[in-house]
A and B are shown apart, each in its own frame.
Chain A
Amino acid sequence: MTTSTLSPAPATRRQKTTRLGAPRSRRGSRRGLVARIVAAILISIVVLFPLYWMLVVAFSSRSELLGGTLRLWPRTMTVGNFERVLAGFPIATWFSNSMAISITVAVLTVLVNLLGGYALSQLKFRGSNVVFLIALTTLMIPVQVIMVPLFRLVTNLGLYGSYWAVILPTAASAFGLFLARQFILSIPRDLIEAARIDGASHFRVFTSIVLPLSKPLIAVLFFMTLLQSWNDFAWPLIALKQNELFTLPIGLLYLQGQFGSDLGATMAFALINVVPMVVLFLVFQRFFVQGFARSGIK
């Protein structure tokens, strides 16, 4: 469980082919290998081509795009789309809004769910299972079920018109609680019992035993929440009505409404939304993969 899913398979599987591989079957597997490589390349093209095309369109001039003269391999490149988008929209503000909201959500989620996850996994008390079950069930409810009253609630609480209208309802997701509970369950209870017998309070146990052992959990939870919140759309669409509070995805929709068929400008802005998270995702792939795989374990 500590190893990344993307790491190579154990050596035993490789040995198998050399040990069992008779000359004939080895030739067969080599033919299979070519077919597999071709399949892998074809799949990669299907996945990568739309992204490549987004890049091409973002760096191409409008006339080329409209004239239909755009080639698969463009000869000229221009940053005109980026200039137009940056001049016409408060992209820097939207970018910092996205950062502020997603980082706050991630920090809040880590804090709240480490505490809650510890309670649900290591402390025995009546009602803990019911709480966990209710929390899990809420994970399945789409936000559109509660959006009408949630909007009224956020307005009545005076949150509408601030970041908190997005941050607090997003941080209420039970996903982090689920992940934290699963992780903290794997901390040996003997360790905690021993500290308790030595006279440590529950809070002390949490800060000096659970917290230091939960560093991987903190990383996984932080990056997963950051990703989700950065890309979140349905609730911010309702909760952020003023232009200057928009996050990047909402701004992207707004821009599409304003610029209509200007696909070059749209793609330039889409890139600004996409690139930071894709880079982060690839650099910290280990944590994301662990998070997704772990959430899939049961």
Chain B
Amino acid sequence: MTKVAVEQDRVAGTVAPSLTLPRRPGRRNGKTVREALAGWLFLTPNMLLLCLFVLVPLVWTVVISFQETNGFGVGEYVGVANYERLLGDPLFWRSTANTLLFTIIVTPLSMVLGLGAAVLFNSILPARGVFRSILIIPMAISGVATALIGVLVFNENNGILDNLIRFIGLPSVNWQSGGFAAFVSVVLVTLWWRVGFNMLIYLAGLQSIGPELYEAAELDGAGFWVRFRNVTVPLLGPSSFFLLILNVIYSFQVFDIVFVMTGGGPQNATSVLVTYAYDTGFVTRDQGYAAAIGVVLLLVTFIFTAVRWRTSRSRDLVE
């Protein structure tokens, strides 16, 4: 798609002929065998870690999801009972709906705000580098600290934001006890944390657009919005696509902020699938049921991956 793809092609281009060269025909087989052996050897540490700590637990999750467990003890097979229970569990549906809602809200907002910031900080501006650095500072801050800063700012009794709102003369908002307001506060804190990353990716994209395109558009009399719509946005397609995937994945996994800031409350208004799974598995210790929630999360992730693959393949064909 971009530079790396070009490099890949270039590398592939140099590789293909050298492999098909009829150099020392007798030794070719030995060479490929040795190369494969070396490849697997170099990959061994990686594969050991990946198999042991990701792939094995992945299969194991599916196994445990068919069990009724007693704390951390050995489980008993109960068939699809856990999944049947999921269907009738209002908290599961609430968490699913919240996860989807969160994703649908946070993804486009992060991207639009990130793009706006990127365009602004790519234009002629004094101390541009300083502004850019400021915007990416939240990326260095842990999720827990971010959430606690959120607690501080959105505190209902003497939070700075509420003081500010009352100072302007508006009625105070029940950020902590109101379900809707709590959800909004989680979204706002997430945006504060994530927009810098979106800006960074868009900046990299913007810098790969040649200035001559803008010059041509300007000579044609195109104003800022026309240039933005017809040059910037289409040429940022790959960046947008990448960010779309990353923001959706991130939104599905939003744990730190929700867990620390609201704990899923009030009245489960901010409960999402990952926090519900954690609470089930390690607070109420219903591990079989938690595994079933995990499998649902996995399925949703796979569906999204499949959709992403299809679209990316058709994109490649179009481009």
List A residues at the B interface (Cβ < 8 Å).
1, 5-10, 12-14, 16-17, 20, 29, 33, 36-37, 39-40, 43-44, 46-48, 50-51, 53-54, 57, 65-66, 68, 111-113, 115-116, 118-121, 123-126, 128, 131, 134-135, 137-138, 140-142, 144-153, 155, 168-169, 171-172, 174, 177, 182, 185-186, 188-190, 193, 202-203, 206, 227, 230-231, 233-234, 237-238, 248-249, 252-253, 256, 263, 266-267, 270, 273-274, 277-278, 280-282, 285, 288-289, 292-293, 296-298
Contacts and interface: CB of A to CB of B under 8 A. Distances in A.
A44 B259 CA distance: 27
A274 B145 contact: yes
Contacts of A186: 4, 7, 11
B34 to A, nearest CB: 8
State the main secondary structure of chain B at its contact with A: helix
Given A48-B137, A125-B40, A174-B50, 10 more contacts: A8-B129, A47-B135, A115-B43, A123-B35, A142-B252, A147-B278, A149-B60, A189-B11, A231-B141, A292-B139
Contact of B301 (A141, A171, A185, A278): A141
A233 B261 CA distance: 13
Given A189-B11, A289-B136, A292-B200, A146 B61 contact: yes
Contacts of B41: 119
Contact of A9 (B122, B160, B192): B122
B43 A119 contact: yes
Given A119-B39, A172-B53, A16 B158 contact: no
Contacts of B49: 112, 168, 171-172
Interface of B: 1-5, 7-8, 11, 14-15, 18-19, 32, 34-36, 38-43, 45-47, 49-50, 52-58, 60-61, 63-64, 72, 117, 120-126, 128-129, 131-145, 148-153, 155, 158, 160, 163, 192, 196-197, 200-201, 203-204, 207, 211, 214-215, 218-219, 238-239, 242-243, 246, 249, 252-253, 255-256, 259-260, 273-274, 277-278, 281-282, 287, 290-291, 293-295, 297-298, 301, 304-305
A174 B273 CA distance: 23
B140 A278 contact: yes
A172 B50 contact: yes
25 contacts: A7-B129, A16-B215, A17-B124, A20-B215, A54-B149, A65-B158, A112-B49, A119-B38, A124-B39, A138-B54, A144-B274, A145-B277, A145-B294, A145-B298, A168-B53, A171-B49, A185-B8, A202-B34, A234-B278, A249-B144, A253-B144, A253-B260, A274-B141, A278-B141, A298-B5
A131 B136 CA distance: 33
Contacts of A115: 42-43, 45-46
Contacts, number: 327
A54 B252 CA distance: 28
State the main secondary structure of chain A at its contact with B: helix
Given A16-B214, A185-B11, A144 B297 contact: yes
Given A51-B149, A146-B294, A296 B242 contact: yes
Sorted nearest first, the 4 A-B pairs with minimum C-beta distance are A149-B60, A231-B142, A125-B36, A281-B140
A151 B290 CA distance: 13
A126 B123 CA distance: 48
A273 B140 CA distance: 11
Contact of B61 (A20, A145, A267): A145
